[in-house]
Chain A
Amino acid sequence: GAGVSQSPSNKVTEKGKDVELRCDPISGHTALYWYRQRLGQGLEFLIYFQGNSAPDKSGLPSDRFSAERTGESVSTLTIQRTQQEDSAVYLCASSLRDNEQFFGPGTRLTVL
């Protein structure tokens, strides 16, 4: 079946612009996660959605970062006024409740 998909696969933007990254989770998966991976580094947790519960936003690095999820479907991660240090691969994962997480291919964001 279809896995987690993310779009765009690559995004180049200028410093100060806003960007929106999209994640389509596996159908029926109630949990959705966003992570960030800087070049040569491990993954950093950003935010976690589980059903109708309040999201766990504890990993968001600043108030320029926000995310929304509509029900148990699509999620968007928004970065406002992008900075060069925001350059990274942004990975989305989904899971059925909190079991094994299935990761998407990621969006590579480059801020010039």
Chain B
Amino acid sequence: DAKTTQPPSMDCAEGRAANLPCNHSTISGNEYVYWYRQIHSQGPQYIIHGLKNNETNEMASLIITEDRKSSTLILPHATLRDTAVYYCIVRVGNNQGGKLIFGQGTELSVKP
């Protein structure tokens, strides 16, 4: 079973920041938080991952609370092409663990 809970859907206006929350209250000390997204009819795409520090890359920022029980993925300037299902996944280790356990994700709709 997935160890994360996410809202099933969210809307965001084009050009605004999209903030996608994720709860992972049972996360263990050696588990990382990963985010993937799946655009309709495509395979999932990696976005970002982190352990306890906030992370930023060219796609997004990841904010992890100090107790690590929740996190937020931020798309700073959402575009219509960011419409997708966003999956928050916790996974053992940075170089271990193999499989990803996907939950239902959040369906983000970016509207003009």
Contacts and interface: CB of A to CB of B under 8 A. Distances in A.
Interface residues of B, number: 22
A103 B45 CA distance: 7
A99 B95 contact: yes
A16 interface: no
B98 A50 contact: yes
Nearest to B92: A98
Contacts of A35: 100, 102
B95 A98 contact: yes
Interface in A25-57: 31, 33, 35, 41-45, 48, 50, 56
Interface of B: 2, 36, 42-46, 49, 87, 93-105
Interface of A: 4, 31, 33, 35, 41-45, 48, 50, 56, 59, 91, 93, 97-106
